[in-house]
Amino acid sequence: MSESVSEAVPEGFEPLPMGYGFTDALGPLYRRVEESRVVLGLRVDTQHSNTMGICHGGALMTLADIAAASWANVARGLIAGAPTINLSIDFISGAKQGQWIEAHEEGVELKRLFGFVRGVIRSERGLVARFSAVFYFPDHPGMAQDGVVKPVAMRGLLGDDTDAD
């Protein structure tokens, strides 16, 4: 199935750039930018599936975590280290190999050092999972991989994959 995955990506989605560490392991991962909102999606393939041929809960949790962290950072307007403090997910239905799934934001609330995010993962057949997450926003740049806090667009989440350094 992997060879035909790129053909089956819905219109408006583009590949998420590589170089985001563990995020790369979930790929191929795609994004669609809608104004200041980001929708993440993927075609369930062999590497995302369990022995029953449905998307593994770990893959769904990883997608939820990546999406929620992205939304929290977009809301902040910064990309910096934002460790996950809590991730809670309810698995509603399965997504079979070959199905397209998308993570959609349902709300982001920012506090001084914390971000609270809610979202859902949907397939063409309906709701797959709902989740909530809490992220810690350190008040120092030491959590950023390179020690530098950057505006969101500079790291590619909103479509500008150039680095202003």
How would residue 18 be classed by pLDDT, with cut points 50, 70 and 90? confident
Domain annotation covers residue 165? no
Per the structure, how many domains does the chain have?
A: 1
The pLDDT > 70 percentage for the chain reads 80
What's the pLDDT score for residue 146? 52
Domain annotation covers residue 77? yes
CB count within 10 Å of CB 129 equals 24
- What CATH number should be reported for the domain holding residue 90? 3.10.129.10
130 pLDDT more than 50: yes
Please write the tens of the pLDDT for every residue from 32-80.
988 778 899 999 999 999 999 999 999 999 999 999 999 998 898 877 7
Candidates 76, 75, 47, 48; CA nearest to 61 is 48
Distance CA 55, CA 159 (A): 27
Find the domain containing 68 and state its range.
2-155
Burial bucket for residue 128 (CB in 10 Å: 0-12, 13-18, 19+): buried
Domain annotation covers residue 160? no
105 pLDDT more than 70: yes
User: What is the Cα 32 distance to its own chain's centre?
Assistant: 11
Domain annotation covers residue 162? no
| pTM passes above 0.85 | no
Domain annotation covers residue 141? yes
Domain annotation covers residue 163? no
DSSP state letters, 16-73:
PPS-STTHHHH-S-EEEEETTEEEEEEE--GGGB-TTSBB-HHHHHHHHHHHHHHHHH
What's the pLDDT score for residue 139? 74
